[in-house]
Amino acid sequence: MSPAATSDTAPAEEPKVADLDAVLQLLPACRRCRRNKRRCDIRLPACLNCSRVGAECIFFDHVSKELLPRTYIASLVDHLRALEATSASATAGATAGASPSAPTSTSTSTSLTRPAEHHFIHVHGAYRYLGVRAPLAVQDDRIVISSPELRANATCPPLVVPPQSLMGSGMHQFLVSCYLETLHGLYPVLDAALVYLTEPPTSLSDLAASESFMLHMVYSIACHCLRANDCQLVLLSDSFYREALVHAEKITAELNLDALQAVLLLALRSLFDAQNGSLGQQIAFAHRLEVELGAREVEESTPALQQLRASIFCIGNQVASALDRPSGLVEWEATAFSDKPDGSQLLCHLYRVQSSFRRGSSFDELHLDGVEQKIMAHGSPLLVAALNETRFLLEPNVDSAMQLLSTYASDNMILNVFTSHWTYKAATFFLGDDLDKATLQGRALAQKVLERCALKWPNARALQDSVNVYSSG
């Protein structure tokens, strides 16, 4: 080959990369920057504005007519550049006189070490299956659920469609009802009569920022409120959570009830998913907002603020009791019960008793007289669990431990991230050398509850293994 031919051929490779970079510069600004009227630097995998707040960077694709994350574009770019590098390497090998069988052996070796029959891409917080020969497929070693064995070992089924496509009126009513029936009576953060809760919205994108945040958080929390710690909707919950975070910064920037409600919804969700939120910081932030709002004019000190203050007290003391530490919250004044107290009043009373006990009050000074019957009449499984946690805290023994484990193991129970802590504490009363009926039953109940906890929270597996060691020994 002549020098002239070489010089004519060499620059021909450069426009391909230049064209790709030029196309990337034409990407539209992300949705968050557009809404906040900020300049978007269209970086991959996320623009600087979204990276700073940890929000998902998504933009509207006018070709597919849907919102796409920039991480999806980044994965395609990485894949294309990897193909270019592989092609260049193969060309260099052929030029050097590589044998024709070499690429075949390399390909065979790759297929043996890394399964190539399934391809997934990450779009809208989910993995979409593209098939075997999809040209833009990107393999992801983290999720290749292709066989019954792997699928059986998966924590929860993969979500393969955007959450918006699932939100018909039936799904809306199911999730909102689940939230209201399970948590609203104990933690009245929102007004249950809000229009976007009582009636399915025609389009989630038409909601105001605060409404969209609140509704997506209700959806996300409700996905964790299935009985027996059922984890079928966990990935759907994560998708709704990411949609809500798009508006989080805007809502919490103002000092008002909306901001306090938003922080409390984040804290409620952290009771079921501690990895995606710092529950302690959220409660401290909510408490600070509540104090500042309470110091304002009388019009701000509404009954809604009183309800939010009760929720802060309950969640804060729920954390404190489970971790055996002070809550740092102002003690709520005791009030006389009405004939039919609501769940929030009953829950506040239980956590007030727990708080007094942690601060050193003697058992004789504390009592649950008159409360137990009202709680049983109320019928909330979470309220019954809080009652038995209080009993166990005040008087830890075999009977109170068995009662607590039996409550957790019931099929209608909703578990949270602290259930495994209480369960292990109760299980320690059944780890002795005695093998009587009560001991065996206590161990079996503890193992059942910890197994359910481990479906969502891997740290529960270590506690379960500890119980199993004692049981087998």
pLDDT, tens only, 9-49: 444 444 444 467 777 888 889 988 988 888 888 888 888 88
- How far, in Å, CA of 241 to CA of 252, rounded? 16
Phi, psi of 249 (to 5 degrees): -65, -40
Kindly report, residue by residue over 402-432, the tens digit of the pLDDT.
999 999 999 999 999 999 999 999 999 988 7
What angle, rounded to 10 degrees, do the helices at 437-454 and 419-427 form? Answer: 160
Amino acid at residue number 44: L
Q: Which helix (H) or strand (E) holds 69?
A: strand 66-69
Band (pLDDT 50/70/90 cuts) for residue 150 is very low
Q: How far apart are CA 198 and CA 206, in angstroms?
A: 16
Q: 110: pLDDT confidence band, cut at 50, 70 and 90?
A: very low
Instruction: Look at 161 and 402; give whichever has higher pLDDT.
Output: 402
Query: What per-residue confidence (pLDDT) applies to 83?
Result: 76
**Residue 373: what pLDDT?**
85
CATH class of the domain defined by 19-85? few secondary structures
Closest CA to 350 of 325, 314, 309: 314
Of 48-52, 92-96, 329-333, 345-349, the range with the highest mean pLDDT is 345-349
Residue-wise pLDDT for 224-252, tens only, equals 998 888 888 888 899 899 989 999 888 88
Per-residue pLDDT, 97: 52
Q: What's the pLDDT at 133? A: 40
Higher pLDDT, 333 or 431: 431
Please list, in sequence order, all residues whose beta carbon lies within 8 angstroms of the beta carbon of residue 457, skipping any fewer than 6 positions away. Answer: 274, 417, 420
- Looking at per-residue pLDDT, the higher value among 66 and 342 belongs to 342
Q: Is the per-residue pLDDT at 140 higher than 90?
A: no
Q: Is the pLDDT of residue 291 over 60?
A: yes
Number of other residues whose CB lies within 10 A of the CB of residue 46: 22
Handedness of CA 315, 317, 318, 319 (dihedral sign): positive
pLDDT tens readout for residues 251-287: 888 888 899 999 999 999 999 998 887 888 899 899 9
- Looking at the predicted structure, is the pLDDT value of residue 165 above 90? no
| Closest-CA residue to 221 (of 276, 162, 259) | 276
Report strand pairing: 66-69 vs 126-129: unpaired
With a pLDDT cut of 70, the percent of the chain lying above it is: 73
Task: Please give the model's pTM, rounded to 2 decimal places.
Answer: 0.64
Cα-flanking dihedrals φ and ψ of residue 134, to 5°? -65, 125
Q: Give the dihedral sign, CA 198/201/204/205.
A: negative
Higher pLDDT, 203 or 15: 203
List, for residues 40-72, the tens digit of each pLDDT value. 888 888 888 888 888 888 888 777 677 788 887
Q: Mean pLDDT across the stretch 310-330?
A: 86
Count Cβ neighbours within 10 Å for each residue of 350-378 and write b for 16 or more, e otherwise. Answer: bbbbbbbbbeeeeeeebeeeebeebbeeb
Domain boundaries, the chain: 19-85, 166-326
